[in-house]
Amino acid sequence: MIKKSLIAWALGALLLPVGSYAKERNDIPDCYQYAGLTANQPEFKGRELIVVVDETTQLPDELKREALAHVLRFVQPGDKVKQFRFSAFLPDSHLGLEFSGELQASPVKEVREDIGSNSLKKLDQCLAKQQQYFQMQIAKHMGSSFGDASKDIVKSEIVFSLKQIGEAWKQSAATDKVMFIVSDMLENSDYTSFYQNNQIRKIDPAKEMQKVSTANLQANLQDVRVFVAAAGLVPSSSKTGYRSGKTVQLLESFWGDYFKASGATLQAFGAPSLTQDLQ
């Protein structure tokens, strides 16, 4: 019953005029527009989360649930959220913006006191449903972005995808930016490969960074805090996928250097489980 009522509400709200959607894509219906209180909407607080899911990484269900839980714990009213899916650049597998939306915050006390009770009730009910709607939608889109064994994609264009995301993100009005990447972080493209003889190799971070610099693949991620989950993940079906602690350390070192060169900071590197909350 809850799911049906949420869908009915969302469909009804989406039939409203879409003027507020013109500048930036928003997949979440606007509650202030719905309640006729557009003039009372608080300004954007400036915090934005970008979730990046690697379709080439086959995660066990436990890590999928963990990734979603990290997002749900982090996102608060007033935040903007985008979720990208990437893999290799193939006809049916490429970088895509799967979800983009803004969770609206309630008016501050002084503003609430100046709003009529009926309008305020309509707004509060809508904002409560908006939270549930977001949770449903982000779970749906992250779930469909995760890789699985039925779609085995060999190539993985991580650095090029991050560069593209950075170019799009630099237009954002956000002042507090967090990126959450769910990926094994094992580049396997024409630029470089972190594999050798079908196994994860011990990379030389300095040499790999030189390749990135030569190809001008640093991303525009100024002041972004980066969190990674599923790094170095080896599918349970792999017979030659052992990776040592040293291999993971070298992998983390490279990505730390990469994000630093891109203006960002690698805050946590879950290999594979991210044990620190997004912040």
pLDDT mean across residues, the chain: 88
In angstroms, the CA 136 to CA 140 distance is: 6
The structure's pTM equals 0.90
Percent of the chain with pLDDT over 70: 85
pLDDT at 20: 37
Question: Pairing mode, if any, of strands 96-102 and 80-86?
Answer: antiparallel
Report pLDDT digits (tens) over 39-74: 999 999 999 999 999 998 999 999 999 999 999 999
CB distance 50 to 174 below 8 Å: no
pLDDT at 15: 46
Residue 34, both tokens: 């719905």
| Ordered alpha helix ranges (H), 215-267 | 245-261
What is the pLDDT confidence band of residue 150, given thresholds at 50, 70 and 90? low
pLDDT at 22: 41
CB distance 219 to 261 below 8 Å: no
Report pLDDT digits (tens) over 86-118: 986 666 667 899 999 999 999 999 999 999 999
pLDDT at 237: 55
CA distances, 239 to each of 164, 184, 271 (Å): 34, 17, 19
Instruction: Give the three-class secondary structure for 40.
Output: helix
